[in-house]
Structure 1
Amino acid sequence: MGAQARQDRLAALLEPVLAEAGLDLEAVEVVPAGKRRLLRVVVDSDDGVDMDAVGTVSQDVSAALDASDVMGSAPYVLEVTSPGVDRPLTLPRHWRRSRGRLVQARLADGGEVTGRVVEAGDDGVVLETAGAEQAEYRYADLERGRVQVEFRRQADDDAAAD
C-alpha cells in the first residue's frame, strides 16, 4: 500500500473516533523510526487540546487501530499530539483558532501582511494591522499564514493589568 493510500485509510478510520471526542484530525503521518514506524496523529479543537484529552483519545485511537489492519503487522509507535505554533494556517478553522494572535501571511498577488486576527469566518479573516487599522482578507487572496511567536502578547499584558 502506498504512503498516500495508507494516510487516506488512516484518516477515514480515525476521523470518526476523534470527532466523537470533539477533536479534529489535523494530520496523520507514518515515519520510519529504526526497525519500527512512528504513527503521528495531530489533533486540535476550537478549545485547544490538553494532556488529559490526548491521553484519553490515544487509547481510543489505539483501540481503533488494533481493530483494523491499516497499519499491517509490522511494529509501530503511536504518538498523538497537538499542532505546534509553527503549523501553517491553511483552513478557516486554523485562522479561527488563532483569534487574538499575531500572524503573518503572504498575499496571493505578492507582498505580505502582518496583523492580529480579530475575526475569522468561513471565507476570510479580519486582521488588525499597524496603527490599529482593520482589514479583511479573503482566504483565496492569502497563501499560508503563520502565527508569530510573541513573548508578551497584548492579551497577556491586558490580563496582568486587571
Structure 2
Amino acid sequence: MAGRSTGLPTQKQVIELLDGEFVRAGYEIDDVVIDSRPRPPRITVIADGDKPLDLDTVAALSRSASALLDDLIAGDDAYVLEVTSPGVDRPLTAEKHFRRAHARLVDAELADGTTVTARLGIVSDDAVDLVVRERNDWTVRRIPLADIVKAVVQVEFSPPKPRELELAGAAGTEAEA
C-alpha cells in the first residue's frame, strides 16, 4: 500500500497493511474495529494465535502496527491504536477457536437443545472431546463440532483437577490441584 491517505483507513486497508506483520509474529487478525466517534478516533486490532498474546507481544505488535499505520495516515490525523486478544466472551465458532481454547472450561449449547459445562479436550476430525462430570466421575464425550450450537469459555477462579486435565489431554500443563 503506497502513499498517505487523508482520514482513517478502512477495515480492509488495515487488515491488508498489518496482516503480514501479525502472521510473522504467529498471529492472525480476527477483526479490526474502527470507531471514528471519539476524538482521537480508535483503531482496535483483535488478534489470535495458537499461543496466547502476552504483554510483550502486544507491545511489539502495537509498535510495528503503529509505524505502518503512521505511514498510511496523514501526519496530522491522530488516532488511538489498541491491539488486543478476542477475550473470553467471544463464542467459539471455528475449529481453530476450540483448538486454541484446549483445556479451558466452556459452556456449550448442543444441537439437541441440551447444555453442558465441560473442559475442552483434543480437537480432531471435526469433533472435540468434552470432559464432563457425570455421577461423581469424569467422562469424555466426543461431540462433532457441527453439533455445537454455541460455546463460550468460562472464567475459572480455581485450578482444574489433575484427572480432568489428564482426560482433556493436558496433564502436566497446569499446576496440580
Across the aligned residues of Structure 1 and Structure 2, the Cα RMSD in angstroms comes to 2.6
| Deviation of the 1:119 alpha carbon | 0.8
| Deviation of the 1:74 alpha carbon | 4.3
CA distance in 2 between counterparts of 1:46 and 1:35 reads 34
Q: Percent identity?
A: 38
* 1:115 to 1:62, Cα distance in 2 relative to 1, 3 A: same
CA distance in 1 between counterparts of 2:14 and 2:48 reads 17
Query: 1:104 maps to what in 2?
Result: 107
How many pairs align? 156
Query: 1:10 maps to what in 2?
Result: 14
Whether contact under 8 Å (1:23, 1:45) holds in the other structure is yes
Runs of 4+ in structure 1 deviating by more than 4 angstroms, as ranges, are 71-74, 155-158
* 1:80 to 1:122, Cα distance in 2 relative to 1, 3 A: farther
| Deviation of the 1:72 alpha carbon | 10
Query: 1:147 maps to what in 2?
Result: 153
CA distance in 2 between counterparts of 1:121 and 1:15 reads 27
1:34 aligns with 2:38: yes
* Structure 2 alignment gaps of length 5 or more: 1-8, 164-173
SS in 1 for 2:36: strand
Whether contact under 8 Å (1:100, 1:155) holds in the other structure is no
Query: 2:144 maps to what in 1?
Result: 138
| Deviation of the 1:95 alpha carbon | 0.9
CA distance in 1 between counterparts of 2:39 and 2:86 reads 26
Q: Partner letter of residue 160 of structure 2?
A: Q
Per the normalisation by structure 1, the TM-score is: 0.82
Query: 1:21 maps to what in 2?
Result: 25
SS in 1 for 2:175: helix
| Deviation of the 1:6 alpha carbon | 2.4
1:159 aligns with 2:175: yes
Whether contact under 8 Å (2:159, 2:175) holds in the other structure is no
CA distance in 2 between counterparts of 1:108 and 1:16 reads 37
| Deviation of the 1:67 alpha carbon | 3.0
Per the normalisation by structure 2, the TM-score is: 0.75
Whether contact under 8 Å (1:92, 1:122) holds in the other structure is no
| Deviation of the 1:75 alpha carbon | 3.0
* 1:155 to 1:14, Cα distance in 2 relative to 1, 3 A: farther
1:78-136 Cα distance to aligned partner (Å, 9 max, x none): 01112322222112121112111111122234222221111123622110112212112
1:131-156 Cα distance to aligned partner (Å, 9 max, x none): 21211222222123111121112158
Which has the larger helix fraction? 1
Query: 1:120 maps to what in 2?
Result: 123
Query: 2:4 maps to what in 1?
Result: none
| Deviation of the 1:12 alpha carbon | 2.5
